[in-house]
Chains A and B, each alone.
Chain A
Amino acid sequence: MVATDSVRRAARVAAVLACGSLLAPIGPSAHADDRGAVAFFVHQTSDRLTVIHPSASVRADVGEDTELSAGYDADIISAATVDVRTVAYRASVDSSDDSPPDVVAGASVRGFEEVRNGLSLGIAHGFTRTVSGNVGYRFSDSPDYVTNAASLGMSVSDDDKNRTGTVALSVAHDDVGRVGDIRFLDSVTSLGVSVGWSTLLSSLAVFDLLAGIEHQSGFLESPYRTVPVYAPGEPNDPLEHYLESVPDARLRGALQGLVRIGFTPHVFGRALLRAHHDDWGVLGATLGLGVAIEPHPDWLCSLDGRFYLQREAGFYRGRYYTTGDAPRLRTADRELAASRHVSASTRLEYSAAAWLGFTWRVNANAELTVRHYDDTPRLPEEIAIQTGLALVAQR
Chain B
Amino acid sequence: MRVACMIAFGVLLNSGCASVAAYERETLAHRAMTEPLDPERQGLSAHVAGAREAALDPGNSAGGGCGCN
Whether B1 is near chain A, meaning CB under 8 Å from some CB there, is: no
For chain B, give the interface size range: 35 or more
Which residue of the partner chain B has the closest CB to A363? B38
Q: Which residues in window 15-36 of A have CB below 8 A to B?
A: 16-17, 19-25
Q: Determine whether the beta carbon of A41 is less than 8 Å from that of B58.
A: no
Q: What is the chain A residue whose CB lies nearest that of B10?
A: A20
Stretch from A95-103, A221-229, A318-326 that touches the partner:
A221-229
Minimum CB–CB distance from A290 to chain B (whole Å) comes to 8
Do A192 and B62 have beta carbons less than 8 Å apart? yes
* Interface contact B54-A209, CB-CB below 8 Å: no
B63 and A188 contact, CB distance less than 8 A:
yes
What is the bound-complex CA distance between A21 and B8, given in angstroms? 10
| Cβ contact within 8 Å between A162 and B67 | no
Q: Contact check, B62 vs A260: say whether CB atoms are below 8 A apart.
A: no
Tell me if B6 and A203 are in contact (CB < 8 A). Answer: no
Whether A276 and B7, one on each chain, are in contact in the complex, defined by CB atoms closer than 8 angstroms, is: no
Contact A284-B40, Cβ < 8 Å, known A16-B3, A262-B33: no
Stretch at the interface among A60-68, A123-131, A166-174, A232-240: A166-174
Q: Are B30 and A254 in contact (CB under 8 A)?
A: no
- Report how far A308 CA is from B49 CA in the complex, Å: 10
Rounded to whole angstroms, the CA-CA distance of A16 and B11 in the bound complex is 11
Residue contact B54 to A202, C-beta cutoff 8 Å: no
Minimum CB–CB distance from B50 to chain A (whole Å) comes to: 8
A19-B7, A21-B13, A160-B19 in contact; A262/B67 too (CB < 8 A)? no
Provide the residues of chain A in CB contact with B48, threshold 8 Å. Answer: 43, 51, 384, 386
**Interchain CB contact under 8 A, B41 and A388:** yes
A280 to B65, CA, bound (A): 18
Q: Which of B17-34 contact A (CB under 8 A)?
A: 17-20, 24-28, 30-33
In the assembled complex, the Cα of A197 lies from the Cα of B56 at a distance in Å of: 18
- A145 CA to B51 CA, complexed, in Å: 13
- Report A198-214 CB contacts with B as 1/0, cut-off 8 Å: 01111110111111111
Q: Is the interface of B mostly helix, strand, loop or mixed?
A: loop
- CB-CB nearest in chain B for A149: B63
CB of B13 within 8 A of CB of A200, answer: no
Could you tell me the distance between the alpha carbons of A171 and B62 in the complex, rounded to whole angstroms?
Answer: 6
B37 and A292 contact, CB distance less than 8 A: yes
Chain A residues with CB under 8 A of B31: 300
Question: Contact string, A3-25, partner B, CB cutoff 8 A, digits 1/0?
Answer: 00000000001001101111111
Interface of A is mostly: strand
* Beta-carbon contact of A172 and B64 below 8 Å: yes
Please tell me which one of the listed residues B38, B39, B65 contacts residue A347 in the complex, with CB atoms under 8 A apart. B38
For A38, the closest partner residue in chain B by CB is B40
Residues of the B chain whose Cβ atoms lie less than 8 Å from the Cβ of A118: 64
Cβ of A260 and Cβ of B35 under 8 Å apart?
yes
Known: A81-B69, A268-B32. A341 touches B61 (CB 8 A): no
Shortest CB–CB separation between residue A140 and chain B, in angstroms? 6
Residues of B within 8 A of A254 (CB): 55-58
| Interchain nearest-CB distance for A156 vs B (Å) | 14
User: Do A83 and B54 touch (CB < 8 A)?
Assistant: no
Neighbouring B residues of A390 by C-beta, 8 Å: 38, 40-41
Cβ–Cβ < 8 Å partners of B37 in chain A: 270, 290, 292, 302, 347
Evaluate contact between B54 and A268: CB separation under 8 angstroms. Answer: no
A200/B32 in contact, CB under 8 A? no
Find chain B residues with CB under 8 A from A223 CB.
67
Interface residues of A in 133-174 (CB under 8 A from B): 136, 138, 140, 142, 144-145, 147-149, 151, 160, 162-163, 168, 170-174
Q: Are A308 and B55 in contact (CB under 8 A)?
A: yes
Known: A73-B43, A138-B61, A145-B66. A204 touches B13 (CB 8 A): no
Among residues of A, the one whose C-beta sits closest to the C-beta of B11 is: A23
A246 CB → nearest B CB, Å: 12
CA distance A199 to B37 in the complex (A): 18
